[in-house]
A and B are shown apart, each in its own frame.
Chain A
Amino acid sequence: MACGLFLSLVGLVWALLNHNNSAHTPGVLTETATWTLIYGASKQALISTFCSLIVGGACARAIHRRGRVFGKKLILATSFLAMVLPTTAAAVSLIALWGRNGAARGFVESVLPDGILFAPYGLGMVVLAHVLFNAPIALRVCLSALQTIPTPYMKLAANLGFGSRSYWQFIEWPAIRKSIPALFGLIFLLCFSSFPLVLMLGGGPGVSTLEVAIYTAIRFDFDLAKGGALALLQLVFASSAIILISWLGSLNWWTELNQADRIVRKDVRSMTSRIADGTTIFIYCAIVVLPVLSMVVSVNVENSARLFTRDVFWEALISSVTLGVAAAFLSTALAFLLADAHHKASRYGFMAPLRGLINISISIYLAVPSVVLGTSMFLALRGTADLFGAAFFIVLISNTLMCLPFASRLIFPKYSSVFNRADKLCLSLNIKGFDKFRMITLPSMRTEIGLSLGLCSALAMGDFGVIALFGSEQFRTLPWLLYQYSSRYGGGEAELLGLIMLGLALLKYFIFYTILRLPEIRKSNA
């Protein structure tokens, strides 16, 4: 299976290369416009990464330092929410807040002098959107790292009378610095290869990414050769970045964030630190929580309720829900099969290359942006199949592959730990096949399976990558419809649709996570 995954990617790369045998790739590479685009995307990604790290990291430190903060549960919940929030919905919400007639823009412009606030479309908006999505990742990684500080260190520091600077220099920074290079690399890659946010908020060619250029080349210029060449270029960039990130270290962003007890600290007492922590948490909430809240508040149900009378909405809703659920089950099932192979391979030293192949075959799909995947499929299948007729299955396959790295990260570690203990017992009792899954795997991994299904269904439902290329009058999804509405009608219906998408993402996550954990919940209540 790992070979299959790997070969399917090789096939897609081959499709890109094969299509470019007319020496189009060197042409694209020597164009000044391409390098201007890469320079612009790098600059945008660099600014977005720094801002995300500062906002998320500072908020993590403030929460860790305070121990118990008002609204801490909400902040930790939003750190997860941003991962399932559909990007198109977030873009619509940001426009409602910070767009030309945005509520927040109106307030800030009435307070600040003219010309200080960023433009309604352009770099400022793109950076703000990227911080909305990536500051929560930085928060999770940094808070996870801070939670690994041994309690005796904190008590020793209190006993020695450490001040804020000493805590940071000798305890907090050493704990988080190991994660920073990989975290920086990951956020940079996500911002560099961003698609829907840049498309909807960039405001034109001045702020763009390779993904947007690929989409424009294929969808509007019908220049498949250019699209393929740019996709190949993006694939090289993204793969290099993933290899570099893996080399820089692993990131821990899945651990449960605890409601840690208050730890006695000298530096939390001063007014300066209280103001600093309060301001930091406020800025984080203004950037991350406010857009989510505004999605709820800004919807004018009376004006936008006609959305429910449109057939296209119901068609898109059914397509999206089906896609999300199917991709979630497929990616989770694939993750289980690969986890089993990985676990078996880890028993024998000589099977290390197989383990490596499995890891690469999964991680590589993290490196392939959905637009690149879509372009490759488009080029590979063109002429051999009815592309738009088979759009559902193409989007399903690509969404499943894109969810696979996330599902694997949730399933692999627990699967190994469960079967490191249960393997011999299963062998001696001859428990195998479905019985093994029913009696051992499912009861031990309810939380992980629920998380994987919930997260993947939300991710797959909200993705606006491949569908941007394959969406048509015959096949629509909610993100595709939202993009159409936001650009054509620009109003109430887009906002209601964004809210519905967020609600659906949360509902799916809640249903999967809760249903699978019901037996555990019943046990703990008994």
Chain B
Amino acid sequence: MLEARALTFGGGPIPRHLINFQVAPGQIMVISGPSGIGKTTLLNIISGFHAPGSGALLWCGQNLLALPVWERPISFLFQSKNLFDHLSCRANLRFSFSTTGSVSTDQDRLIEDTLTDLGIAHLIDRMPPSLSGGEEQRIALARAVLKRDPVILLDEPFSALDAKNRQRALDFIKDVALRHSRAILAVSHNPLDATALAAEALDLSKTRIHS
């Protein structure tokens, strides 16, 4: 279980917050709030790109704040550019197993099987610039699934999608959380997304503190 205990952050242009939450594997939490309130900053703190003011961030009892970005059991999906444009989807997915991009035949087969399982096997040899926003997001999610990181962070996953693709993305994320038992934290402007994902909601406009 991912747990934030009295996690404080903010200052400067971002309001200060005191955060407490728990997200179990298979569970989704939607972080919402108006622009500039610190939603992406919170994801950056959880993933290790920024440091919090104080508090603890625990995974299975271990404080993640002591670990660098690459040692945290977390996959981070940004608003865009989640795949290297000059590499095929297959090459991008190989980074789940090796940072040098070289994998065994078995691992290559696992990539194909996972994509088939997720219903996106037809995208495997495409180049990222030829994908739609929704397709790129699904490939990036597949990489997170293959990487076996138990926590997935999604920054505005629905912002660039039309209504049809939005529904597909919602279903896809629910599927990944439940079938692959991942704890997912998604940032969204739309408060209805929490309902659509049957998720917990963390409204940052209610976690502000005055220092």
Kindly list chain A residues whose C-beta atoms are within 8 Å of the C-beta of B68: 264, 266
The answer to whether the Cβ of A153 comes within 8 Å of any Cβ in the partner chain is: yes
Interface string of A166-182 (1 = CB under 8 A from B): 10011100100000000
Distance in angstroms from B156 CB to nearest chain A CB is 12
Kindly list chain A residues whose C-beta atoms are within 8 Å of the C-beta of B99: 160-163, 166
- Most chain B beta-carbon contacts within 10 A, residue among A156, A166, A169: A156
Number of interface residues of B (CB under 8 A): 23
Give the docked Cα–Cα distance between A156 and B76 (Å). 7
A158 near B80 with CB under 8 A, answer no
A161 near B76 with CB under 8 A, answer no
Kindly list chain A residues whose C-beta atoms are within 8 Å of the C-beta of B80: 152
The answer to whether the Cβ of A438 comes within 8 Å of any Cβ in the partner chain is: no
A266 near B70 with CB under 8 A, answer yes
A155's contact among B78, B87, B101, by CB below 8 Å, is which?
B78
Give the docked Cα–Cα distance between A165 and B99 (Å). 9
Number of interface residues of A (CB under 8 A): 19
Kindly list chain A residues whose C-beta atoms are within 8 Å of the C-beta of B147: 160
The answer to whether the Cβ of B75 comes within 8 Å of any Cβ in the partner chain is: yes
Kindly list chain B residues whose C-beta atoms are within 8 Å of the C-beta of A171: 84
Distance in angstroms from B104 CB to nearest chain A CB is 18
A159's contact among B69, B81, B101, by CB below 8 Å, is which?
B69
B101's contact among A158, A170, A264, A266, by CB below 8 Å, is which?
A170
- Most chain B beta-carbon contacts within 10 A, residue among A158, A160, A161, A171: A160
Give the docked Cα–Cα distance between A64 and B76 (Å). 23
A161 near B70 with CB under 8 A, answer yes
A residues 115-169 near B (Cβ < 8 Å) are 150, 152-153, 155-156, 158-163, 165-166, 169
Interface string of B65-104 (1 = CB under 8 A from A): 0001111001110111110101100000001000111000
The answer to whether the Cβ of B157 comes within 8 Å of any Cβ in the partner chain is: no
The answer to whether the Cβ of B150 comes within 8 Å of any Cβ in the partner chain is: no
Give the docked Cα–Cα distance between A160 and B101 (Å). 11
B100 near A165 with CB under 8 A, answer yes
Instruction: Give the residue name and chain of the B residue nearest to A157 (CB).
Output: B99
B48 near A264 with CB under 8 A, answer yes
The answer to whether the Cβ of B188 comes within 8 Å of any Cβ in the partner chain is: no
Kindly list chain B residues whose C-beta atoms are within 8 Å of the C-beta of A160: 70, 95, 99, 147
Distance in angstroms from A174 CB to nearest chain B CB is 5
Kindly list chain B residues whose C-beta atoms are within 8 Å of the C-beta of A161: 70-71, 99
Distance in angstroms from A526 CB to nearest chain B CB is 22
Instruction: Give the residue name and chain of the B residue nearest to A165 (CB).
Output: B100
Also in contact, A153 and B84, with CB within 8 A (given A158-B70, A161-B99, A165-B100): yes
Instruction: Give the residue name and chain of the A residue nearest to B76 (CB).
Output: A159
Kindly list chain A residues whose C-beta atoms are within 8 Å of the C-beta of B74: 159
Instruction: Give the residue name and chain of the B residue nearest to A163 (CB).
Output: B99
A166's contact among B78, B79, B100, by CB below 8 Å, is which?
B100
The answer to whether the Cβ of B27 comes within 8 Å of any Cβ in the partner chain is: no
Instruction: Give the residue name and chain of the A residue nearest to B71 (CB).
Output: A161
B49 near A264 with CB under 8 A, answer yes
Distance in angstroms from A249 CB to nearest chain B CB is 16
Also in contact, A166 and B101, with CB within 8 A (given A152-B78, A152-B81, A155-B76): yes
Give the docked Cα–Cα distance between A155 and B68 (Å). 12
Kindly list chain A residues whose C-beta atoms are within 8 Å of the C-beta of B8: none
Distance in angstroms from B139 CB to nearest chain A CB is 13
Distance in angstroms from A303 CB to nearest chain B CB is 57
The answer to whether the Cβ of B47 comes within 8 Å of any Cβ in the partner chain is: yes
Give the docked Cα–Cα distance between A156 and B147 (Å). 13
Give the docked Cα–Cα distance between A170 and B91 (Å). 10
A153 near B49 with CB under 8 A, answer no
- Most chain B beta-carbon contacts within 10 A, residue among A152, A159, A161, A170: A159
Q: Interface on A for B, CB 8 Å cutoff?
A: 150, 152-153, 155-156, 158-163, 165-166, 169-171, 174, 264, 266
A-B CB contact pairs (8 Å), 15 listed = A152-B81, A158-B69, A158-B70, A159-B76, A160-B147, A161-B70, A161-B99, A162-B70, A163-B100, A165-B100, A166-B100, A170-B101, A171-B84, A266-B69, A266-B70
A sample of 15 more A-B contacts (CB under 8 A), given A159-B76, A160-B95, A264-B69, is: A152-B80, A152-B82, A155-B76, A155-B78, A156-B81, A156-B82, A158-B49, A159-B70, A161-B99, A162-B70, A162-B99, A163-B100, A165-B100, A170-B101, A264-B49
Interchain residue pairs A-B with the least CB separation, the first 5: A161-B70, A152-B81, A152-B78, A158-B69, A166-B99
